[in-house]
Amino acid sequence: MAFPVIIYSADKSRGGILHKILKRNGLSTLWENQLSQTQAAVLTHHPEIFIADIKNALKNEIVFLANICLKLQGAFLIVIGGSVDINTFEKQVSELVLENNLRLTDPLSPELIVSKVKEVLSLREKPLQAQQTDLEIDLKQFLKL
């Protein structure tokens, strides 16, 4: 079975909550809590969306995750964590050109993440041109730009 959504979270409760709430919303989701397995899963499933929970992650783990992100092949990336974690991640990936991504600083907002995932998935079903403009508008709206 292919999973359009893959979550990496080493945190039992954050990962568990996201996994459960996404599945409840009919989104077939795989949750991994180890980096090597996450990498394997990303390579196997080519997800549409990859959610990386980097809360309290070690620097090495963030580097590892950044490398996984490089292999995403156009998947939409959602990074969640504390503001310090997100800062570290941003520094780490500054050289990588990450286009499709959203960074959400704590508090963890499971319902918001569900709505974002749904949105991204539905946009991806649309033709390319419409998709980009919609996504842009949507992101701008969300980021209050």
Partner 1 sequence: MPEGEDLKDLQERLAELKRQEMGGVDVPSLDADIKKETIKMERAAEASNKPVLAKEREIGKLAESPSGPVGLDVGTTHIVIAKNETNHIQTITQLNAFFTIPKSKFAKKILSNNDILYYELDELFYIIGYSADNFANMFNTNTRRSIKKGLISTDEKEGISVIQAAVLSLLNRPKRFGETICFAIPGEPLHGNGSVMYHESIIKRFLSHMGYTPISINEGMTVVLSELSNEDHTGIGISLGGGMCNICLSYLSFPVITYSLQLGGDYIDSMVGQSVGEPATKIKLIKENELDLSSEPKDRIMTAFHIFYDDLINKLIESLQRVLSSSDQMPMIANAIPIVLSGGTAMPKSFTERFMKTLKNYRLPVEISSVRLADDPLNTTAKGALIMAMTEAE
**Contact footprint for partner 1 (CB under 8 A):** 12-13, 15-17, 19-21, 23, 31, 33, 82, 106-112
Q: To the nearest whole angstrom, how small is the minimum distance from the Cβ of residue 83 to partner 1?
A: 10
Q: In the complex with partner 1, which residue's Cβ is closer, 23 or 124?
A: 23
Task: Give the phi and the psi of residue 54 in degrees, each rounded to 5.
Answer: -110, 20
Q: In the complex with partner 1, which residue's Cβ is closer, 67 or 82?
A: 82
Helix 83-93 to helix 59-70 angle, to the nearest 10 degrees?
50
Contact of 48 with 121, CB cutoff 8 Å: yes
Contact of 114 with 125, CB cutoff 8 Å: no
Q: 20: which 2 tokens? A: 């459960």
The Cα–Cα gap between 118 and 25 comes to 9
Q: To the nearest whole angstrom, how small is the minimum distance from the Cβ of residue 116 to partner 1?
A: 13
Question: Which value, to the nearest 10 degrees, does the dihedral of the CA atoms of residues 91, 95, 101, 103 take?
Answer: 0
Q: To the nearest whole angstrom, how small is the minimum distance from the Cβ of residue 127 to partner 1?
A: 33
Q: In the complex with partner 1, which residue's Cβ is closer, 52 or 108?
A: 108
Q: To the nearest whole angstrom, how small is the minimum distance from the Cβ of residue 17 to partner 1?
A: 5
Q: In the complex with partner 1, which residue's Cβ is closer, 18 or 49?
A: 18
Q: In the complex with partner 1, which residue's Cβ is closer, 36 or 109?
A: 109
* Three-state DSSP state, 45: helix
Q: To the nearest whole angstrom, how small is the minimum distance from the Cβ of residue 16 to partner 1?
A: 5
